[in-house]
Structure formats: C-alpha cells, structure tokens
C-alpha cells in the first residue's frame, strides 16, 4: 500500500511498506531547491527518524532531466540585490542542516542521481548512504563559474577525491559522467536508467533481510571507462601547485592541448572565487567531519554574499542577463591578496550555522 502525503512545496512524500520515498517535484526547474522544498524534505526525514516501520529512504526527482540542478540561485540573487541579506543566511542554514541530516540519518538513504545533479543536488545525493548514477548522469560543483565557491558539503567530497581531482573539479566546475563520479567518490553504483523502477519495486517488496546496498548490487553494472581517470596523471601534476597562478603556469607547461585550453579558461575565471576555493578544498582535507566542513563553507558563502560583488555579478552574467560577460573584481589573479583569503576564512556570520 502506498501512503502519499501531498505538500505544496515541490516535494512528494510517500510511504510504501517500509520505504519512505521523497521525490523532488519541480521538473520545469530541474527540481532546483528552494526553502519550502528544503523544509519539506527535512520534515519528512524528521518524522521518519522515529518510525520503526521505515527502514529505508529513497530520494529521486520528477521529470526526465535530472535529480536536482542545484539551489535556486535566482532567488538568492533577488534577495541580495534587494538588500534582504538575512534571507540568504536562512537558506544556507536550512540547506546545510538538511545535508547534515542526510549524512547522519539512522536509516540508509538511497539516492538516484539520474540526469543533472549539480550544486545543491550534490548536497542531497552526495551524502546519501547508497548513491546511484546512470548513463544519463551529469554531476558537477559549478559554483566558481558564477564567482562563488562549492558548498553543501561539496568541498568535503572534493577534498576526499583521489589525487588532485578535488582541486581540478572545484576550480573548473567541470561535469562528471557516471564513471567519473564513481572514480571521484561522488557515487557508488552504476545502474542503467531503465532499471531504476525495478530498484524502486525491490526496495518496497524485498522479503529477505538484506539491506539496500546489497540489493542495489543485483542491478549494478560496470560503466564505461572514466575519462577523468585517464586525465588524472596531468591533473595531479598541475593542480598540486600552491596558488591558482601556479596551477595555470603548470598547465601551460604540460604540452597537453586540453591542459593549455584549461589554463586559458582559468585565467579568465573569477579570481577571488578560485583562490578561496583552492584554499577551501585543501583546508577541508584536514577537517574530520562533514559538519566541520559545512561550518567552513557557511562562513565562506556568507562572506561572498555580504562582502563580495562577484557572486551577484556571476549570477547576473550567467543566469539573469545571460550575456556571459562577467566583470570580476579584482579582474586578475594577481589582485587577490593573502589578506583577502584570510578575511574569507575568518569571517564570522551574525547567526551561527548550528544555532
């Protein structure tokens, strides 16, 4: 029997025997997260936390374009330019509390990162106990492209990626295929999208005591070879430099056409976002838990939102006016000083994350 609990928040909540199912339901926006959705997800998880009848949770998305395209950055842009900065803090506090709840949830959460799963979508799927990707999966933390920095625990996952892939993926915002995501530690299993309904059914009807991780293995297949893994030798040899200009110089010296093109991209990317992000990934490697990394990210995102023009400018150029011509401040990497980076990591928000 299916028990559906309708909400008006863009989330469908239902229970099917011992399975709790959460479906993001804003397909026209590729299920981009806003505060009502975050609250609906958290409320359902909180309700099931003490329910002995729910032993597994499934997280998926409506539509065929993706699980979640990220946070609703247009809404954040509107809040900042209207001078409602307090709304920005509310969004991030509630989103990060949800990320932590998923990571620490007592019942296993299975996430279908099918299709586009980026930014805030990584914050949902990336911290689940069982993370499934398909041939349609496209994963990324693209925040630097809008003059921002990876958050939602993204820098935790990036910092745990093999070699220097964390620095590479964080600075470039490049998209991972299913095999790339598994190689980088953002996913666990490759399952063809045609088999997702069978997994849903199996999670509901299974009669044996095996957990969802063991059940998913029945559908797991070997994906094609990871292109990211093939590029890792030159990535590791270049993204180990101490600074962004150092990385760019190493990329130009590699003699690899893709590396040279990447050097050009990074040269014109947001200097402050890249410098802070590089430091964030490296500091995250030394932090022991997701909660500790979320605290670091919270300081950084509010520093960007309250003190830096680049986040608003990046959203304007990429998503509002769509002229793809952002004007960064400072405009060059040499303009980012050690004092700027120190200020970002020492920023104290008016409201603590875990208040």
Give catalytic residue positions. 71, 120, 143, 151
Question: Three-state secondary structure along the chain?
Answer: CEEEECCCCCEEEEEECCEEEEEECCHHHCCCECHHHHHHHHHHHHHHHCCCCCCEEEEEECCCCEEECCECHHHHHHHHHCCCHHHHHHHHHHHHHHHHHHHCCCCCEEEEECEEEECHHHHHHCCCCEEEECCCCEEECCHHHHCCCCCCCHHHHHHCCCCCHHHHHHHHCCCECHHHHHHHCCCCEECCHHHHHHHHHHHHHCCCCCCHHHHHHCCCECCCCCHHHHHHHHHHHHCCCCCHHHHHHHHHHHCCHHHHHHHHHHHCCCHHHHHHHHHHHHHHCCCCCHHHHHHHHHHHHHHHHHHCCHHHHHHHHHHHCCCCCCCCCCCCHHHCCHHHHHHHHHCCCCCCCCC
Query: How many whole angstroms separate alpha carbon 314 and alpha carbon 309?
Result: 9
Query: How many whole angstroms separate alpha carbon 6 and alpha carbon 22?
Result: 11
Determine contact, residues 336/350, Cβ cutoff 8 Å: no
Query: How many whole angstroms separate alpha carbon 183 and alpha carbon 15?
Result: 33
Q: Is residue 222 classed exposed, middle or buried when 0-12, 13-18 and 19+ CB atoms within 10 A define those classes?
A: exposed
CA 149 to chain centre: 11
Determine contact, residues 353/298, Cβ cutoff 8 Å: yes
131 φ, ψ to 5°? -115, 115
């Amino acid at each position: 029997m299916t028990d559906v609990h309708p909400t008006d928040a863009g989330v469908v909540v239902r229970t099917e025997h011992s399975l709790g199912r959460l479906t993001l339901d804003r397909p026209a926006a590729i299920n981009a997260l806003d505060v009502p959705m975050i609250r609906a997800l958290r409320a359902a998880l909180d309700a099931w936390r003490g329910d002995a009848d729910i032993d597994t949770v499934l997280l998926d998305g409506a539509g065929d374009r993706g699980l979640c395209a990220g946070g609703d950055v247009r809404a954040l842009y509107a809040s900042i330019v209207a001078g409602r900065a307090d709304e920005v803090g509310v969004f991030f506090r509630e989103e990060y509390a949800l990320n932590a709840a998923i990571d620490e949830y007592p019942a296993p959460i299975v996430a279908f990162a099918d299709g586009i799963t980026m930014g805030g979508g990584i914050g949902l799927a990336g911290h689940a106990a069982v993370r499934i990707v398909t041939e349609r999966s496209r994963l990324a933390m693209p925040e630097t492209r809008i003059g921002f920095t990876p958050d939602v625990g993204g820098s935790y996952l990036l910092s745990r990626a093999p070699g220097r892939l964390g620095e590479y993926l964080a600075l470039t915002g490049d998209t991972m295929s299913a095999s790339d995501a598994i190689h980088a530690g953002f996913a666990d299993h490759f399952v063809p999208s045609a088999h997702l309904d069978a997994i849903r059914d199996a999670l509901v009807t299974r009669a044996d005591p095996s957990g969802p991780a063991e059940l998913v293995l029945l559908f797991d297949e070997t994906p094609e070879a990871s292109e990211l893994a093939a590029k890792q030798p030159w990535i590791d040899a270049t993204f180990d430099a101490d600074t962004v200009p150092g990385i760019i110089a190493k990329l130009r010296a590699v003699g690899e056409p893709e590396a040279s093109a990447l050097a050009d991209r990074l040269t014109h990317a947001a200097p402050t976002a890249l410098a802070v992000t590089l430091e964030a990934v490296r500091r995250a490697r030394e932090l022991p838990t997701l909660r500790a990394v979320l605290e670091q990210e919270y300081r950084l995102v509010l520093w960007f939102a309250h003190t830096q023009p680049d986040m608003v400018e990046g959203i304007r150029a990429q998503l509002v006016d769509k002229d793809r011509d952002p004007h960064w401040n400072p405009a060059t990497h040499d303009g980012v000083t050690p004092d700027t980076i120190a200020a970002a990591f020492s920023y104290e928000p008016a409201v603590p994350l875990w208040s």
